[in-house]
A and B are shown apart, each in its own frame.
Chain A
Amino acid sequence: MNDKKMRQSRWIPMISLIIIIVITYASATITEFNFIEGLATIPQALSWIVANLFITQESLEKLPTILVKLNETIFMSIAATTLAAVVSLFLGLMGSKTTKVNNVFSVIARFIASFSRNIPVVAWSLILLISFGQNSITGFLALFVGTLGFLTRAFIESIDEASVSSVEALRATGANYFHIVNKAVIPQSLPQMLSWILFMIETNIRSATLVGILTGTGIGYVFDLYYKTLNYNAVALVTFTIVIAVIVIDLISNRIRKVIL
């Protein structure tokens, strides 16, 4: 028995390797990807980046415009994440095994979460763009829907992980549903939930750039504008400001996380 298992586990890496090679080859064929060419473009691309992507005095004059748009993007992702978190909290409570009210709501909550999570943010922004037009609300809603799905799943996990035993104890004391949720479930899982919210804000700033390119809003719009007008120095500046913003927010969230977790 043990011997057989040993032999089996020896074969697994070999078989995986073969499957991976086949899949890679198939993918390269269908996408017309050429490994050699791909490899060759790297030095080319790097030298282009060094030659063109630097910030000049001239591009710095655009900084105020860029910062206004970056500001819009940051606020958009914070607002979308926070609002989505509020709704996700309800969906999470409905969907969690420990705190669900009944099975019907639980299934509905999980369905909404799965639906909004698995349709990519790009699709949401394109769909919303049709009727909402080119403005911040489109981007905000697209981020909101995507975040909703992700946070609901994360919250369900946090709730289930944190509170099964104390929920049982409180039920046994005769506490009702609202007592249990408010005084046992939320205090216990809140730090984990906040950590997910912070993670999502950071992710959303990056997604907001993508959504911005599609919906013509925020920092994505400015990037697209300079990119299409071949103003690469400004492109470099936009990229640089995004990097700074993401890193600063990452540092702040890590600080907060260190204290609360």
Chain B
Amino acid sequence: MTLLQVEGLGKSYESETQVLKNVNFEVKTGEFVSIIGPSGAGKSTLLRCINRMVEINEGRVLFNNLDVGTLKKKELRKLRTDIGMVFQHYNLVPRLTVIENVLHGRFGYKTTMQGILGRFTEEEKEHAFFLLQKLGIEDHAYKRCDQLSGGQQQRVGICRALIQDPKLILCDEPIASLDPNSSKVIMDHLKSITTEMGITCLVNLHQVEVAQDYSDRIIGLKQGEIVFDGMGRLLREEQINHIYGTELRELITV
């Protein structure tokens, strides 16, 4: 079943520079898809067009048969509860506890009053602990987030996305700020989200090897255009060189 359809998507911030040009692809439910490409290729913008964190200029994004671009404010909030997001810099509230940060993922389901009073049901809290346990950080639940390491913070970020009960998780460079060990832990968790929980993942990545190891499918983006779309093992050396530019590639994989 098709979960996400991107049709002729175009985006430019100022009229001069076209960040995305006629981007077309589909993602099926339960797929693990990586988007690779050099910095400035438009990966982050592409991801943010899907949950409309940035406005769409041209084309359409269909999520679960909803046209994302035309949604009203309320409907957009509803849509965003179905799409979790994981960030490069984790984007947690550093002064709050881990468990509070995880529960932030439930705000999309709350009315203003419930949210302001901080009312979470016992079920939600227990579910939060369950997720923390699943990601192996339940013993840090009452610590402030700024006391955790980068890898631990990213796991909190993943919990926050999971507690939304999403159909799709967008990951914007989830391992770009992490060391190799933590990167592996995070990628393993993301992969298991798709295989065990059946949640679709769309991941922006810098590292081609990581993308090939983990994903069912790779989309290569260069200067706002899709230049590759297919299974990871079909991605050949020349194509990688084409995406990154020959000299740059060596720098990136080191």
Contact = CB atoms under 8 A, between A and B. Distances in A.
The answer to A–B direct touch (Cβ < 8 A) is: yes
A179 B95 contact: no
A86 B94 CA distance: 24
Contact of A172 (B53, B96, B100, B115): B53
B112 A168 contact: no
Given A173-B80, A176-B77, A166 B112 contact: no
Interface string A180-196: 10111001100100000
Interface in A158-207: 163, 165-166, 168-176, 178-180, 182-184, 187-188, 191
A188 B107 contact: no
B91 A174 contact: no
- The range of chain B's interface size is 35 or more
A170 to B, nearest CB: 6
A21 to B, nearest CB: 46
- The range of chain A's interface size is 20 to 34
B84 A165 contact: no
A168 B87 contact: yes
Contacts of B92: 166, 169
Contact of A174 (B90, B95, B108): B108
Contact of B115 (A163, A175, A187, A191): A175
B23 to A, nearest CB: 20
B93 A166 contact: yes
Nearest to B96: A187
Contacts of B79: 174
A188 B104 CA distance: 14
A184 B118 CA distance: 12
A173 B87 contact: no
A184 B160 CA distance: 14
Given A183-B115, A187-B93, A188-B95, 18 more contacts: A165-B91, A166-B92, A169-B91, A169-B92, A169-B157, A172-B84, A172-B85, A173-B80, A173-B108, A173-B164, A174-B164, A175-B77, A178-B112, A179-B110, A183-B96, A183-B118, A184-B104, A188-B93
Interface of B: 51, 53, 76-81, 83-85, 87, 89-96, 100, 104-105, 107-110, 112, 115-116, 118, 157, 160-161, 164, 170
25 contacts: A165-B89, A168-B53, A168-B87, A169-B85, A169-B91, A169-B104, A169-B157, A169-B160, A172-B80, A172-B85, A172-B170, A173-B84, A173-B107, A175-B108, A176-B112, A176-B115, A178-B115, A179-B112, A179-B116, A183-B96, A183-B104, A183-B118, A184-B93, A188-B95, A191-B95
- In the A-B complex, list the 6 residue pairs whose CB atoms are closest, starting with the nearest: A174-B108, A175-B107, A174-B80, A169-B91, A179-B115, A172-B85
